[in-house]
Amino acid sequence: MTRGEHFIGLMSGTSMDGIDAVIVRFSDNQPQLLHSLALSWPETLRIRLSQLTTNDATTLRELGQLDLLCGQQFAEASLQLLSQAKMDAREISAIGSHGQTLFHHPQPPTRFSMQIGDPNTIAERTGITVVADFRRRDMAAGGQGAPLVPAFHQSVFHDPQCNRVILNIGGIANITILPENGRVPAGFDTGPGNCLMDRWTQKNTGKAYDKNGEWARGGKVNPSLLAQLLGDDYFSRPSPKSTGTEYFSSSWLDRHLQNHPRLSPQDVQATLLQLSCQSIANAIQLSAPGTQEVLICGGGVHNHTLVSALQEQLRDIAVLSTAQTTPGIDPDWVEAMAFAWLAKETLHSRPGNLPKVTGASHAVILGGIYPCGQNPSSAE
């Protein structure tokens, strides 16, 4: 591998709060985050995307338009990032674009995962080769197509003297288990992270999210509702497993709330926060006994009420952000960095999945490669 390669990573999660874009320099396979940018979705586009994820009835016209519009936004994020960094497109080996997930269905016999954000548009507008559509090759090999970040977590966060769990709290929460002895990592989606809390906050307060978990902190957890929510079959399934907001949806919550019609919205929010906390803590305690450190990344790291609740549940484990143990790995940018890394692995013909994590029958090279055309910066 050429020393000092630069890759762009693009990530928009299930929370749909915007596109994370990063430029990462890889030298001897070690990542260095050089520049980062968060680009909010245009509100009209965000609403259309959100409606599409909660309504199976759509048209081919709508799907095609949104694929193109998302591709344009991913390209814009890349161009703004390059401008901010004062870098030329020719300095970037490739863009790794996760795309925007619309639906994730990992169960047989018809496993599929749908992300949009046309990579052809990204390549054409930026003049940079794009690697995209990472999940479907793993699914073709019998895997869940998720989570895909554990291989990156292993390369960056493994400590031969410490049993670690990397916890990503996005719309959905997932863990990567990194044993100190170097055994193959394990990992899976634990269930809801921010998704239910965000949607309940939007519905009842009009705010995009519960900042620092302040609204939840003022409510009271309802033990009966919490037990009912934790009784969902997903939490007791063995790994490999993955899920999405199409499962842990507003309608899923509404069904459970039918048995609790008198609960105040704030008490529901407090219970949802405890659901995320308890399901994460249960997964760590059952699947990773002996864990010494939990390193948090993703937007949930900023929910201080949730992080404090996790520390209370995991009393004998240090709960930290990734930046506290690995300088330069800001928790807000870990997933985008992971897709820059996955693009690098694909370009160098190396597998990017971990079959033990996804359940695939074997390791595979992930994604499709969309070569750039003429570089816009060199066009006459």
CATH topology of domain 5-144+336-378: Nucleotidyltransferase; domain 5 (3.30.420)
Q: Is the pTM of this model over 0.85?
A: yes
Bridge pairing between strands 164-169 and 172-178: antiparallel
pLDDT confidence band for 245 (50 / 70 / 90):
very high
Of the ranges 37-51, 88-102, 352-366, which one carries the lowest mean pLDDT score? 37-51
- 255-301 pLDDT, tens digit per residue, is 999 999 999 999 999 999 999 999 999 999 999 999 999 999 999 99
The confidence score (pLDDT) of residue 374 equals: 55
Write the DSSP string, 197-218. HHHHHHHHHS-SS-GGGHHHHT
The confidence score (pLDDT) of residue 156 equals: 93
The confidence score (pLDDT) of residue 168 equals: 96
Distance from C-alpha of 320 to C-alpha of 111, rounded to nearest angstrom:
35
The confidence score (pLDDT) of residue 377 equals: 40
More confident residue, 167 or 327: 167
Residue with tokens 């969309």: 370
Q: Which residues have CB under 8 Å from 248's CB, separation 6+?
A: 172, 191, 192, 195, 196, 234
Distance from C-alpha of 187 to C-alpha of 181, rounded to nearest angstrom:
16
Helix residue ranges per DSSP H, 262-333: 265-287, 304-313, 322-325
Distance from C-alpha of 23 to C-alpha of 10, rounded to nearest angstrom:
9
| Cis status, amide bond into 185, omega within 30 of 0 | no
Share of the chain above pLDDT 90, in %: 88
The confidence score (pLDDT) of residue 375 equals: 47
Distance from C-alpha of 10 to C-alpha of 72, rounded to nearest angstrom:
13
Mean pLDDT, residues 212-218: 97
Distance from C-alpha of 255 to C-alpha of 275, rounded to nearest angstrom:
16
**Torsion-angle region of 155 (φ positive above 0: left; ψ -120 to 50: alpha; else: beta):** alpha
Distance from C-alpha of 293 to C-alpha of 126, rounded to nearest angstrom:
40
Residue 70 has pLDDT above 50, yes or no: yes
The confidence score (pLDDT) of residue 30 equals: 82
Residues of the chain with CATH 3.30.420.40: 5-144+336-378, 150-331
Could you tell me the CATH superfamily of domain 150-331? ATPase, nucleotide binding domain (3.30.420.40)
